[in-house]
């Protein structure tokens, strides 16, 4: 039997398989390009979705090969097969090629994370997000200026909401949520944040509401004005720090500040509250900042530690209470602009300049466009763990950081640096201790001790806008929080 006679019976089905694969690759490939990259991709800041380039190349290869195969097969079988048999064999090939085409497409695209759910868009569209909490794996709370909104992380349904009173806005939030209780400050427009509420985050029930003697100079949404410390709510007032019962709001103690000092920020562990103060000379020209510790049970001051500043503060963030890590930027351009660590006695340890000889620390999330960062509870692209300060870094000539680096909290030296080759949108640490990073349209996992990459899983069709927070719910499942949830992207969505 000649080769041509052996090939003739299978030529038409094989040609049909090629055409079928071409149709499948074109359909799935161009659909993915539209849904995952808005119809276009390529370039440093907008890479094509994982595996899509070979899919589209093969789509055209299968198109030309299939067309050539059909023409050749028909010519080979001309006169030897009836027309209906010719058509039948091509249809058999077309049908049989669908499943291999789908399998080939999935293999080329590789493992990925699909969108599990999207929360409804924010309404009214004028609201803005100011912070978020995730007290446990089952609930995500997103705070807006008009109240708190809790989502079930399994399906995105809204569990509860706590609306802010009329003409009042959320102006500050506690960084942590001990005993699943969140502290929220409320204030009127251009007025101090003078009302504190405590919310049971498991049910959305307001436990108590209390008026405080707020600092008149703080009239905009800001962070670190209150915090939970064990069973005490530690709150900054005008010229004092006060302790309230976390569950009942009952007054426990009041610790006055020195006459020329004001409290700027507070953070806490169950055993110690930390307050950053600024003390100004009588003529108002000179200012000194200090970090102070007090007992959250009694309000007794434990120690004071002077910060290396000589002018008024410009930016200040409490990055960690255990170990103690703060970021300070003062008005003087030649002054301190650094992350500073302390031991338990308030002794200064590492001073890590925000702008170093190679990179800039880029831990503050600043969305692009018209979106805004979380004012009441900022989210940082940084983690403090096992004696290291881990943060996104990058040179000043780039729009967004593409590297991650770890610095020792003992001496400030850089321990490791890992390049991801894509803009780092979010950085967090999961309950297992590994680092989770959202960068370049995928979730990376890194070893915090060495920076070694443990893999990357691309997102497929994720409605990520100006991402502010990434939370790992469980293995292979994440909840992502957007800054703007009223327009093109949802406020919260999950991938798995």
Query: Please, how many CA atoms are within 13 Å of residue 457, restricted to the half-sphere of its CB?
Result: 17
Q: Are residues 237 and 328 in the same domain?
A: yes
Could you tell me if residue 127 is inside a domain? no
* Number of compact structural domains in the chain: 2
Q: Are residues 50 and 199 in the same domain?
A: no
pLDDT confidence tier of residue 359, bands split at 50, 70 and 90: confident
C-alpha–C-alpha distance, residues 103 and 337, integer Å: 54
In this prediction, residue 458 carries a pLDDT of 84
Beta-strand relationship, 453-460 and 442-446? antiparallel
Residue 446's nearest CA partner among 458, 432, 459 is: 432
Q: How far lies 401's CA from each of 48, 124, 459, 484, in Å? A: 19, 33, 20, 21
Instruction: Give mean pLDDT, residues 23-46.
Output: 70
| Domain edge (last residue) among 354, 374, 396 | 354
Could you tell me if residue 368 is inside a domain? no
Under DSSP, the state recorded for 355 is B
Q: Are residues 44 and 189 in the same domain?
A: no
Q: How far lies 20's CA from each of 23, 24, 62, 335, in Å? A: 5, 6, 8, 67
Q: What is the pLDDT of residues 248-281, one digit of tens each?
A: 999 999 999 998 899 999 999 999 999 999 998 7
In this prediction, residue 55 carries a pLDDT of 72
Q: Are residues 314 and 172 in the same domain?
A: yes
In this prediction, residue 392 carries a pLDDT of 94
C-alpha–C-alpha distance, residues 432 and 50, integer Å: 27
Residue 237's nearest CA partner among 221, 217, 252, 220 is: 217
DSSP bridge partners of 446: 435, 453
Q: Are residues 219 and 318 in the same domain?
A: yes
In this prediction, residue 84 carries a pLDDT of 56
C-alpha–C-alpha distance, residues 225 and 221, integer Å: 10
For residue 280, give its domain range: 164-354
In this prediction, residue 43 carries a pLDDT of 61
Q: What is the pLDDT of residues 112-158, one digit of tens each?
A: 788 999 999 999 988 888 999 999 999 999 999 999 999 999 999 99
| Domain edge (last residue) among 334, 354, 374 | 354
Instruction: Give mean pLDDT, residues 212-233.
Output: 91
> Among the ranges 35-39, 217-221, 416-420, which has the highest mean pLDDT value?
416-420
Q: Are residues 95 and 176 in the same domain?
A: no
Could you tell me if residue 419 is inside a domain? no
C-alpha–C-alpha distance, residues 177 and 171, integer Å: 17
Q: What is the pLDDT of residues 473-485, one digit of tens each?
A: 987 899 999 888 8
| Domain edge (last residue) among 339, 354, 369 | 354
Q: Are residues 338 and 242 in the same domain?
A: yes
CB 320 within 8 A of CB 409: no
In this prediction, residue 364 carries a pLDDT of 80
Q: What is the pLDDT of residues 446-491, one digit of tens each?
A: 999 999 999 888 887 777 777 889 999 987 899 999 888 888 889 9
Q: Are residues 88 and 191 in the same domain?
A: no
In this prediction, residue 76 carries a pLDDT of 66
Identify which has the larger pLDDT, 226 or 100: 226
Could you tell me if residue 381 is inside a domain? no
Phi–psi pair at 320, nearest 5 degrees: -165, 145
Q: Are residues 204 and 277 in the same domain?
A: yes
In this prediction, residue 82 carries a pLDDT of 46
In this prediction, residue 77 carries a pLDDT of 59
Q: Are residues 233 and 345 in the same domain?
A: yes
Domain CATH for 191? 2.40.128.630
Instruction: Give mean pLDDT, residues 232-242.
Output: 96
């Amino acid at each position: 039997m000649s080769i041509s006679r052996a090939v003739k019976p299978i030529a038409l089905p094989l040609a049909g398989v090629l055409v079928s694969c071409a149709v499948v690759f074109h359909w799935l490939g161009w659909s993915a390009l539209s849904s995952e990259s808005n119809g276009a991709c390529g370039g440093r800041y907008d890479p094509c979705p994982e595996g899509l380039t070979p899919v589209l190349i093969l789509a055209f290869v299968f198109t030309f090969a299939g067309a050539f195969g059909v023409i050749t097969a028909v010519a080979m079988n001309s006169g030897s097969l009836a027309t209906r048999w010719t058509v039948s064999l091509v249809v058999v090939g077309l049908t049989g090629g669908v499943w291999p085409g789908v399998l080939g497409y999935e293999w080329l695209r590789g493992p990925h994370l699909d969108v599990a759910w999207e929360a409804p868009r924010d309404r009214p569209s004028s609201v803005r997000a100011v912070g978020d909490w995730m007290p446990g794996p089952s609930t995500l709370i997103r705070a807006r200026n008009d109240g708190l909104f809790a989502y079930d992380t399994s399906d995105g349904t809204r569990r509860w909401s706590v609306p802010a009173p009329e003409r009042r806005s959320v102006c500050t939030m506690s960084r942590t949520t001990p005993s699943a209780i969140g502290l929220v400050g409320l204030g009127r427009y251009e007025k101090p944040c003078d009302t504190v509420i405590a919310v049971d985050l498991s049910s959305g029930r307001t436990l108590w509401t209390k008026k405080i003697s707020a600092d008149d100079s703080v009239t905009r949404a800001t962070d670190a004005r209150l915090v939970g410390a064990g069973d005490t709510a530690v709150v900054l007032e005008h010229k004092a720090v006060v302790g309230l019962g976390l569950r009942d709001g009952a007054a426990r103690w009041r610790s006055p500040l020195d006459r020329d000092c004001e409290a700027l920020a507070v953070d806490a562990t169950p055993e110690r509250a930390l307050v950053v103060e600024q003390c100004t000379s009588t003529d108002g020209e000179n200012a000194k900042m200090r970090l102070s510790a007090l007992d959250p049970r009694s309000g007794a001051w434990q120690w004071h530690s002077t910060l290396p500043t000589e002018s008024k503060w410009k930016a200040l963030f409490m990055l960690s209470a255990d170990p103690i890590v703060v970021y300070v930027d003062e008005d003087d351009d030649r002054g301190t602009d650094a992350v500073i660590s302390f031991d338990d006695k308030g002794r200064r340890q590492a001073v890590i300049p925000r702008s170093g000889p190679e990179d800039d620390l880029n831990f503050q999330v600043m969305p692009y466009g018209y979106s805004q960062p979380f004012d009441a509870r900022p989210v940082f692209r940084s983690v403090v763990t096992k004696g290291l300060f881990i943060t996104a870094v990058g040179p000043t000539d780039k729009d967004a950081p593409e590297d991650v680096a770890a610095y020792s909290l003992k001496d400030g030296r850089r321990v490791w640096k890992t390049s991801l080759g894509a803009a780092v949108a979010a950085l967090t640490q999961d309950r297992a201790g590994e680092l989770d990073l959202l960068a370049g349209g995928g979730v990376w996992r890194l070893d915090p001790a060495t920076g070694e990459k443990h893999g990357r899983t691309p997102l497929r069709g994720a409605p990520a806008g100006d991402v502010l927070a990434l939370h790992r719910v469980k293995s292979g499942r994440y909840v992502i929080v957007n800054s703007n949830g009223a327009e093109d992207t949802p406020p919260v969505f999950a991938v798995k």
